[in-house]
Amino acid sequence: MATTKWNIDPTHSEVQFKVKHLVISTVTGQFNKFEGSIESDGENFDGASASFQLDINSISTNVADRDAHLKSDDFFSAEKFPHIKFSNGILTKKGDDFKLVGDLTIKDITKFVTLDVEYGGSMTDGYGQNKAGFEVNGKINRKEFGLTWSMVTEAGGVVVGDDVRLHLNIQAVKA
């Protein structure tokens, strides 16, 4: 069967992250600019390949000072490393859903990660475009990717948690 390419539709997709602040609450952020694709055998996503990249300069936590700090050398070093990249991804069917395994690169550090993927199905929209929906979840340790900035409060509390939860709602359109 011929390979089918699906491109992430950024107008119907979102990429979010969540991290603990002071260990008592959670800060949510997102990347507003990203791109990626999936290559499958038709609409059979078992064994499909996937890749994407996120634009660090599009990060938003709804607090300009925090966003600037995240772009700085304390965290992502956006000037030197403008993208987070996921490559060599393979979707593997597990029951009704999938696992996505591949290489995640943040700054100049690449780690093999496994993400959970809930397949929402596929449908033809009102414009005749074939689309497929996926909800992707996972967790990484930020320090494993060189995001080691930390601060301890006077009371001994940690300002930023180590674990970062990832949540992507992806709608892909058949090319």
Q: Is the model's pLDDT at 65 over the cut of 70?
A: yes
Selection from 126, 117, 122 nearest residue 173 by Cα: 122
Higher pLDDT: 157 or 163? It is: 163
pTM above 0.85, yes or no: yes
DSSP string, the chain: --EEEEEE-GGG-EEEEEEEETTTEEEEEEES-EEEEEEEETTEEEEEEEEEEEEGGGEE-S-HHHHHHHHSTTTT-TTT--EEEEEEEEEEEETTEEEEEEEEEETTEEEEEEEEEEEEEEEE-TTS-EEEEEEEEEEEEGGGGT-----B-TTS-BSEEEEEEEEEEEEEEE-
Q: How confident is the model at residue 151 (pLDDT cuts 50, 70, 90)?
A: low
Of the listed ranges 44-53, 120-129, 149-158, the one predicted with least confidence: 149-158
Q: Quick one: average pLDDT of 140-158?
A: 77
pLDDT in tens, 86-112: 999 999 999 989 999 999 999 999 999
The predicted pLDDT at position 152 comes to 64
Pick the CATH number of 3-174 from 2.40.128.110, 3.30.70.2740, 3.40.605.10, 3.40.50.150: 2.40.128.110
Higher pLDDT: 148 or 35? It is: 35
